[in-house]
């Protein structure tokens, strides 16, 4: 059965000088209203211990230039701020922060009966009209919203949220378990491994080198008592760092998209570990490996792609000892018997030679299939 889904398309924009000014103004207003509303809320709470329910409209009289930008951009700021407060109160972490210029410059607007639209080579936006664009994919469906952003390297993008239809992929009757590798990116229960792409490692080395130079230039400017904004060498190097960083982010995302799609296409059930990445990143030794591997964005991609294409993603409890259990006879090693440095081990009971990561992925698959079976049985009794 085809399914209605929301899909985001990222499109490169090529605004002319006038349009760039409009975007700069819009980013500025969105940032201003966020900071102003947040500041006033905090101030109000300090004196009254109650929540201030402020709206962008209240500020338009005092700050007339707010009227020059898309009013939906400001309305979306209000909504995002409300969402940020709500997450803070629900999860108790990350109080909303003030926004700084040049970091995540963006604003969001909504499509109201065709105010946001696309042609073959332009995107139409409220208040500014058609902007030249390059589309990587064909876009079909109803556009719900558009988020316009500028990267630190000065590129413009619009992310269109589109209501579209997906068709499930054909069933393959194949199942697979995935273990997050330490040396490789992942190890699979069919014995395959997927390495971290080499070019990523190369780019990361380059990033480290450029960052070192940046730190030196910062120190030089400081010693000369010059502001960083006035130090040309520092600014030049900062742009260089941003460019390498952007390249890494894009290349990594591309790699994860292709890999997650291949797995979803080739298998009906995909079992993974529900890793607490936040907890693991705190562990210094693992930090680089984990963040490099981008495990959490990978699992997010698997999760929504499984949903889109009619496949099953099952997550295994992160406390399940997938590495220490022998996938052949279920014998469990102690922690001391399997330190992180041991890559292969011989089961003392059945004598099977276990590759640490492949063995773990086989266990993850076994557990996953048990969970899938259980959920089906529960479903069946529920129906009866
Ligand atoms: Zn065994």
Of 74, 151, 85, nearest in space to 108 by CA: 74
Tell me the pLDDT of the chain averaged across its residues. Answer: 90
> pTM, whole model, 2 decimals?
0.82
> Which H or E element spans position 234?
helix 232-266
Q: Give residue-wise pLDDT tens across range 102-130.
A: 788 999 999 999 999 999 999 999 999 99
Domains held by the chain: number: 2
8 Å CB contact between 42 and 28: no
Same domain, 58 and 180: no
Same domain, 160 and 199: no
Question: Is there a catalytic annotation at residue 179?
Answer: yes
Same domain, 205 and 306: yes
Among residues 166, 190, 206, which one ends one of the domains?
Answer: 166
Tokens of 52: 């201030």
Question: Is there a catalytic annotation at residue 273?
Answer: yes
> Residues with beta carbon < 5 A to ion ligand 1?
326, 328-329, 331, 347, 349-350, 352
Among residues 126, 146, 166, which one ends one of the domains?
Answer: 166
Same domain, 143 and 184: no
Same domain, 315 and 246: yes
8 Å CB contact between 263 and 309: no
| Averaged pLDDT for residues 240-267 | 93
Of residues 286 and 263, more confidence is placed in: 263
Question: Is there a catalytic annotation at residue 357?
Answer: yes
Cα 332 to averaged position of ligand 1 atoms, centre (Å): 8
pLDDT score at 382: 38
Among residues 138, 166, 194, which one ends one of the domains?
Answer: 166
| Averaged pLDDT for residues 34-58 | 94
Catalytic site residue from 70, 105, 268, 273: 273
Cα 50 to averaged position of ligand 1 atoms, centre (Å): 62
pLDDT score at 261: 97
pLDDT score at 384: 30
- Give the domain range for residue 180: 175-383
Same domain, 202 and 326: yes
């Amino acid at each position: 059965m085809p399914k209605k889904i929301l899909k985001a398309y990222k499109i490169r924009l090529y605004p002319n000088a006038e349009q760039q000014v409009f975007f700069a103004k819009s980013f500025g207003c969105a940032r201003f209203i966020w900071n102003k509303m947040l500041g006033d809320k905090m101030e109000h709470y300090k004196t009254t211990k109650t929540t201030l329910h402020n709206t962008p409209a209240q500020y338009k009289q005092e700050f007339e230039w707010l009227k020059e930008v898309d009013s939906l951009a400001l309305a979306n700021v209000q909504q995002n701020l409300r969402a940020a407060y709500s997450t803070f109160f629900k999860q108790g972490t990350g109080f909303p922060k003030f926004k700084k210029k040049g970091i995540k410059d963006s604003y969001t607007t909504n499509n109201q009966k065709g105010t946001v639209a696309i042609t073959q080579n332009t995107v139409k936006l409220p208040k500014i009209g058609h902007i030249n664009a390059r589309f990587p994919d064909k876009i079909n469906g109803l556009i719900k919203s558009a988020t316009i952003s500028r990267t630190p390297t000065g590129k413009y993008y619009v992310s269109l949220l589109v209501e579209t239809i997906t068709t499930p992929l054909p069933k393959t009757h194949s199942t697979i378990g995935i273990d997050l590798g330490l040396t490789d990116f992942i190890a699979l229960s069919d014995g395959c491994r997927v390495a971290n792409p080499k070019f990523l490692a190369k780019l990361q080395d380059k990033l480290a080198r450029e960052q070192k130079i940046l730190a030196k230039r910062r120190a030089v400017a400081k010693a000369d008592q010059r502001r960083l904004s006035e130090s040309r060498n520092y600014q030049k190097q900062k742009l260089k760092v941003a460019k390498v960083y952007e390249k890494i982010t894009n290349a990594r995302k591309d790699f994860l998209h292709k890999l997650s799609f291949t797995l979803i296409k080739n298998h009906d059930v995909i079992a993974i570990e529900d890793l607490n990445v936040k907890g693991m990143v705190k562990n210094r030794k693992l930090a680089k490996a984990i963040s490099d591997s981008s495990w959490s964005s990978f699992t997010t991609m698997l999760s929504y792609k499984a949903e889109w294409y009619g496949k099953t993603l099952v997550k295994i409890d992160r406390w399940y000892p997938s590495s220490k259990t022998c996938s052949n006879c279920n014998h469990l090693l102690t922690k001391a018997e399997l330190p992180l440095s041991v890559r292969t081990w011989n089961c003392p009971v059945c004598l099977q030679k276990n590759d640490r990561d492949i063995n773990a992925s086989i266990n993850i698959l076994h557990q996953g299939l048990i969970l899938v079976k259980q959920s089906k049985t529960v479903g069946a009794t529920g129906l009866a």
